[in-house]
Amino acid sequence: METLAYGYGLIEAPRVDSQNRLHFSDVPNGGVYRRSPDGKVEIVIPKRRGVGGMIFNQGGGIVCTGRGLILFDENTGKSRDLFVQWEGKPLAGMNDLTTNDNGSVYSGTLGFNPLSDEKSVPGSLFRIDPPGRPTKLWDGIEVTNGLGLSPDRKLLFHSDSPTQAVWVYDVTADGGVKDRRIFAKLPSGMPDGLAIDAEGGVWVAAVRAGEVVHISRDATVKERIKFPATMVTSVVFGGRDMMDLYVVTADNTEAPDRKGTIFKTRATVPGLPVPNARF
């Protein structure tokens, strides 16, 4: 296990690009960052807070959440709104996301700020199709978090944190979802970000449990990988063989002054690449 970077708040939204550079966000302090393989860290999107999910865009740019969904152009430093309101009202926030082979984004909205003392208000699951057409797919999600599609694209996995469960939907031919049901309950903690492996397994960050849980496609817990943190928030695969496992946190129990930390270890199976968005 390697420690790659530290000194952040709540780190989220890890993604590895084609140059093996790790992108990540700092939710409370703002900013999207990029770490190169040589260890250099630079700011890509300054100040933007609440980025719980991001993905690279076909042809350039980064699609990421926050108050809404945007496409950021690094060359100009400007962003374009993709989905920022629903039924005439501004969104309260969006969290994690994933994409399908058409370049559409699946993402969940937040009805309140889960890092505050606000009353819990359930959010919804949306699919946003290029160039920015939202479709509501499901209501009543307590706190939306990690999302990922199975290798055959027939299943959509979805962390709903307070339920302590990873849920799964059947994906319909038109990109919709049906038959939401519990895929697996975590042994401890609450599910946050997740990643899918090439065998259809689900790797879930367990907040307040200090671990990443590897759940096989038949919903059996195969591994519980412990990290020196309590708030393990998200996970992503990378590397040429897709077996590097990057894990991000909001704390560090071995060295508390380090705060949010990025770790890297090796997985037992390769990860599944996530398609680029096409906005």
Per domain, the residue ranges of the chain are 2-189
- Paired with 5 in beta bridges are 262
What's the confidence (pLDDT) of residue 120? Answer: 80
Q: Which residue, 222, 202, 224, is CA-closest to 213?
A: 224
pLDDT for position 112: 77
Residue for token pair 């919709």: 176
Residues 149 and 156: beta-carbon distance below 8 Å: yes
Q: Provide CB contacts within 8 A for 160, sequence distance 6+.
A: 141, 142, 143, 144, 145, 166, 167, 191
Q: Tell me, which fold does domain 2-189 have in CATH?
A: Neuraminidase (2.120.10)
Give the max Cα distance, the chain.
49
Q: CB of 16 within 8 A of CB of 35?
A: no
pLDDT tens by residue, the chain, 279 residues: 999 999 999 999 999 999 999 999 999 999 999 999 999 999 999 999 999 999 999 999 999 999 999 999 999 999 999 999 999 999 999 999 999 999 999 999 998 777 777 778 899 999 999 999 999 999 999 999 999 999 999 999 999 999 999 999 999 999 999 999 999 999 999 999 999 999 999 999 999 999 999 999 999 999 999 999 999 999 999 999 999 999 999 999 999 999 999 999 999 999 999 999 999
**Residue that is written with structure tokens 């960052």 in the block:** 33
Q: In what helix (H) or strand (E) does residue 140 lie, and over which residues does it extend?
A: strand 133-141
Cis amide bond preceding 131, omega within 30: yes
pLDDT the model gives residue 94: 97
Output the six-digit token pair for 200.
């259809």
Contact present, 112 and 120 (Cβ < 8 Å): yes
By CB neighbour count within 10 A (0-12 exposed, 13-18 middle, 19+ buried), where does 198 fall? middle
Structure confidence at residue 28 (pLDDT)? 95
Strand-pairing partners, residue 177, are 171
Strands 32-35 and 41-45: antiparallel
Report how far residue 7's alpha carbon sits from residue 157's, in angstroms, rounded to the nearest whole number. 31
According to the model, what pLDDT value does residue 113 have? 78
Starting at the edge strand found earlier in the chain, the sheet holding 54-56 runs 54-56, 62-64, 69-73, 78-83
Distance CA 201, CA 272 (A): 10
Please tell me the predicted confidence (pLDDT) of residue 111: 84
